[in-house]
Chain A
Amino acid sequence: AQSVTQPDIHITVSEGASLELRCNYSYGATPYLFWYVQSPGQGLQLLLKYFSGDTLVQGIKGFEAEFKRSQSSFNLRKPSVHWSDAAEYFCAVGAKAAGNKLTFGGGTRVLVKP
């Protein structure tokens, strides 16, 4: 069965500082990996996805993520955080063999200090 772990429940970062959110997954084959963001009062928005190929993936809003098979990780990074990045971030894994349903991590809430 698929599983996703986001070890950090909350992260506080200063505006302009770098951000890294951790995600570890468990799945037998190569999964499809996603990062979603939920801003206050909004739905889930897809930031980026990894299906295959280049293991460094660029997304929207200046985010990137790196797939590391050896570590079963798909960490999300942003070099310089803006106040508007305050939100909850979810890592998710999917697979055709699992019927395309997504398995989510518990989420990481990011607070941005001025």
Chain B
Amino acid sequence: EAGVTQFPSHSVIEKGQTVTLRCDPISGHDNLYWYRRVMGKEIKFLLHFVKESKQDESGMPNNRFLAERTGGTYSTLKVQPAELEDSGVYFCASSQDRGFYEQYFGPGTRLTVT
């Protein structure tokens, strides 16, 4: 069974540009989460999808961040326009659809905004 995959693994962009991160969850996992770790800080929750619906987006920092999960499969996280403070590692995780199951994490996308 394939794990959670994320693309790209690294992205370097200039301030003001747009970047789109992609996450493919484990097949059959309805729950998809985005987290972020900025340098020197703890990993923080961004948002949670159940299938294609946003269940909780309380962690999204501002309206420059837009997450989608069309069709309830893969998800994208777009940052537009990117700012320096957006640099960090963006993790995606998925879990099964009943109860509270452990979340399986992808390898992360390291985003550097210069």
Contact = CB atoms under 8 A, between A and B. Distances in A.
A100 B105 CA distance: 14
Contacts, number: 58
A104 B106 contact: no
Nearest to A94: B100
Contact of B41 (A51, A99, A106): A106
B31 A90 contact: no
B42 A105 contact: yes
Interface residues of B, number: 26
Given A42-B107, A99-B48, A104 B43 contact: yes
A53 interface: no
Contacts of B107: 42-43
Contacts of B59: 101
A56 to B, nearest CB: 18
Interface residues of A, number: 25
Interface string B32-64: 010100000111110010000001100100000
A51 B100 contact: yes
A106 to B, nearest CB: 5
**Central interface residue in B33, B43, B95, by most chain A CB within 10 Å:** B43
Contacts of B33: 101-102
A100 B94 CA distance: 11
A99 B43 contact: no
A34 B102 CA distance: 8
A42 B106 CA distance: 9
A103 interface: yes
29 contacts: A42-B107, A43-B4, A43-B91, A43-B107, A43-B108, A44-B43, A44-B108, A46-B102, A46-B104, A51-B100, A90-B43, A92-B43, A94-B100, A95-B100, A96-B99, A96-B100, A99-B48, A99-B55, A100-B31, A100-B48, A101-B33, A101-B45, A102-B33, A102-B35, A102-B43, A102-B45, A102-B93, A105-B42, A107-B42
